[in-house]
Structure 1
């Protein structure tokens, strides 16, 4: 299935399931190496990062825990620029190593807000791990330490990412066809 139609838009495969698995494993290995001797808390950002967070955790070779936070900033194919926390974290973050697991970092606004919010809870450190990074769209001084793919400014879906809540279950990642 190289082209899919979701609602009123068409998308073509840009990253295969095999490529995703390979990069997720590589990122998990790097985190496992960097965090050796620690028990990091993976903090997955719902809804988009749920598949990535699960696959990442399965590939890690060190003890770790996972929790989720739900933020919303998208409508259709564009970010609204306004982030609202829908539900947050119950864990005590004092002296914890926290790794935010995000599906995609574009402007950096969501990550900036999360880092500021998490910082008030006294973690030992906060790290960013993202499946996709669009460096050309960055507006905030955010430096994701763990990036599976740096991509151009195209709208994508699949592997957890959606278009109006559709397409999340696709195993490959698809790019919009203009």
Structure 2
């Protein structure tokens, strides 16, 4: 088995930068949601690492649930959205923090926000680890953004390519050979 980090052309965001920014985001969330009935909703599966680190840093009572939404196949281009897991918690009249790994076209967040709005939360705020403004098709502002990144396909820290590379501690761009399957 080869080292998955060997397939990375360059690191965009280091492990230390991620750690520092997650702490900063958690502090912002704490300030904004103090005294509120907070429900954190994570979108599976790419947000798993980010979400786990973020909620451990938030020093507030909160409830945690997940929605499954798939918009990527084995490649790098979006396809139709499929909801693969529904919420178990009731979010009516509660403050929702929707956490996702990456705000790309905005298609996924738009669909999830629309679905959540139908459940009558008090408010929905969004928190994304990464934002690619260059690819935005839907006007979806993120309330909390970890990092703005260029329009490149990235992996690591929960983000995958063909279900690989999620366990890398940093965020990087794959070498061309890894994407084409020749490596």
TM-score, reference length from structure 2: 0.90
- TM (norm. structure 1) is 0.93
**2: CA distance between counterparts of 1:44 and 1:157?**
18
The structure with the greater share of residues assigned to helix is 2
Contact residue 40 and residue 64 of structure 1 kept, 8 A? yes
Moved segments of 4+, more than 3 Å: none
77 and 12 in structure 1: CA distance in 2 versus 1, 3 angstrom threshold: farther
Shift of 1:117: 0.5
- CA shift, 1:3, in A, is 5.2
SS of residue matched to 1:85: strand
Root-mean-square deviation (CA, aligned residues, Å) is: 1.5
Instruction: Number of aligned residue pairs: give it.
Output: 174
Q: 1:134-178 deviations in whole A, cap 9, x for unaligned?
A: 011111110000000011101110000001000000111111234
SS at match of 1:130: strand
C-alpha deviation, 1:67, in angstroms = 0.7
Q: Which 5+ residue runs of structure 1 have no aligned equivalent? A: none
Counterparts of 1:127 and 1:78 in 2: how far apart (Å)? Answer: 27
Structure 2 Cα separation of the partners of residues 171 and 109 of structure 1: 27
* Cα pair 2:97 2:125 within 8 Å, conserved: yes
The residue aligned with 1:57 is: 55
One of 83, 104, 107 as aligned partner of 2:105: 107
Please tell me whether the aligned partners of residues 2 and 12 of structure 1 are also in contact (alpha carbons under 8 angstroms): no
Q: How far apart, in 1, do the equivalents of 2:9 and 2:6 lie?
A: 5
**More strand by proportion, 1 or 2?**
1
